[in-house]
Amino acid sequence: MAGETAEIWWLDTDGLDAGDWPRLEALLDEAERVRARRFHFDRDRRSYIAAHALGRRLLSSRAGGEPSAWGFTIGAHGKPEVIGPPGRARLRLNLSHTRGMAVAALTEEHDIGVDVEWLGRQPASDELARRFFAPAECAILAAAAPDLAEETFLSFWTLKEAYIKAVGLGLTQPLDAFAFTLEPLGVRFEPAIADDPACWRFARFRPTPVHLMALALRHPTPQAVTVTVTAADVAMLCV
Ligand SMILES: CC(C)(COP(=O)(O)OP(=O)(O)OC[C@H]1O[C@@H](n2cnc3c(N)ncnc32)[C@H](O)[C@@H]1OP(=O)(O)O)[C@@H](O)C(=O)NCCC(=O)NCCS
């Protein structure tokens, strides 16, 4: 039945050879190639190319066609949405990229968001937590053992980003009006958000020792959805 599978593909970009990049870039469309050329830093260009190549190949693996042929519209708050193909369930894709890692998440019809962060990105700080997290999340972070503080901080960060990206309203969503718990993984929404935890499936992963990743999927029966996670490589992307 359509929409019952959510696929996550991730690519470790640190392990790629110089010759892999033109092959991945060949999966992009012309506008993305132009955008890729504008990045100042090679590492930013590469994570952008990897994420977009990953997303396009994932779409083609589900629905056929050439990866470079997929088109996207951009929503009012910047969320890209897949165009077509006509006559079948609407494909929903979300991308994330960070140093050394690109991720694409795909489902049909339902809102999906994914976020990946590099653990060395920024040290956990009370100031950042107060700025971005709900009070209950700040309390969990404050109680975490020092050696788990960074992981706890980025777990909240990736979960909140994944939720924001799934909803697609950008940072118009008040970040302190929804609070995650990690053990067990769950969420509580304040009335300002008017959302229902029973409509959501959240998951977190650690694809490498230095990356944390989170998924948010809105679905009427979220626990019935099969979530698959695949470590992609250039051979499977550039067939
Ligand atoms: C725009 C935003 C999605 C950027 O997120 P990010 O973590 O910097 O970037 P990611 O790599 O995870 O995601 C970027 C991809 O998401 C997609 N995207 C862009 N805008 C989006 C939106 N409004 N909703 C969902 N997805 C979006 C695009 O595919 C984009 O890829 P591209 O830039 O290569 O085209 C947004 O959530 C944001 O501005 N966050 C700011 C950070 C912040 O304050 N976070 C608070 C966390 S508690």
Q: What is the arithmetic mean of pLDDT over 83-95?
A: 91
Does the reported pTM lie above 0.85? yes
CA dihedral sign of residues 114, 233, 229, 31: positive
C-alpha 97 to ligand 1 mean position (Å):
9
Residue 18 has pLDDT above 90, yes or no: yes
The model's confidence at residue 143, banded by pLDDT at 50, 70 and 90, is very high
**Which atom of ligand 1 is closest in space to residue 165's alpha carbon?**
25
Which residue do the tokens 């990866």 mark? 67
3-state helix, strand, coil in the chain (%, to 5): 40, 30, 30
Q: Within 10 A of 197 (CB to CB), how many other CB atoms are there?
A: 12
Query: Quick one: tokens of 216?
Result: 């948010």
Q: Quote the CA–CA distance of 227 and 215 in Å, as a whole number.
A: 10
Question: What's 81-138 look like in SS3?
Answer: EEECCCCCCCEEEEEEEECCEEEEEEEECCCEEEEEEECCCCCCCHHHHHHHCCHHHH
Give the pLDDT confidence score for residue 173 in this predicted structure.
87
C-alpha 86 to ligand 1 mean position (Å):
27
Task: Write down the mean pLDDT value for the chain.
Answer: 94
Residue 114 has pLDDT above 90, yes or no: yes
Q: What is the arithmetic mean of pLDDT over 161-181?
A: 94
Give the pLDDT confidence score for residue 155 in this predicted structure.
97
C-alpha 223 to ligand 1 mean position (Å):
26
Which CATH number fits the domain that encloses residue 43? 3.90.470.20
The total number of structural domains in the chain stands at 1
Q: Residue type at 155?
A: S
**Which atom of ligand 1 is closest in space to residue 47's alpha carbon?**
34
Residue 81 has pLDDT above 60, yes or no: yes
C-alpha 165 to ligand 1 mean position (Å):
7
Which structural domain, as residue segments, surrounds residue 210? 5-237
Which residue do the tokens 């019809």 mark? 109
Residue 204 contacts residue 151 (beta carbons within 8 Å)? no
The model's confidence at residue 1, banded by pLDDT at 50, 70 and 90, is very low
DSSP labels, 10-26: EEEGGG--TTHHHHHHT
Give the tens place of pLDDT for each residue, 90-102. 999 999 999 999 9
Query: Quick one: tokens of 203?
Result: 């998951």
* Pocket of ligand 1 from Cβ distances under 6 Å: 48, 51, 77-80, 94-97, 115, 132, 157, 160-161, 164-165, 168, 170-171, 175
* Residue 32 dihedral angles phi and psi, to the nearest 5°: -70, -35
Q: What is the arithmetic mean of pLDDT over 155-166?
A: 97
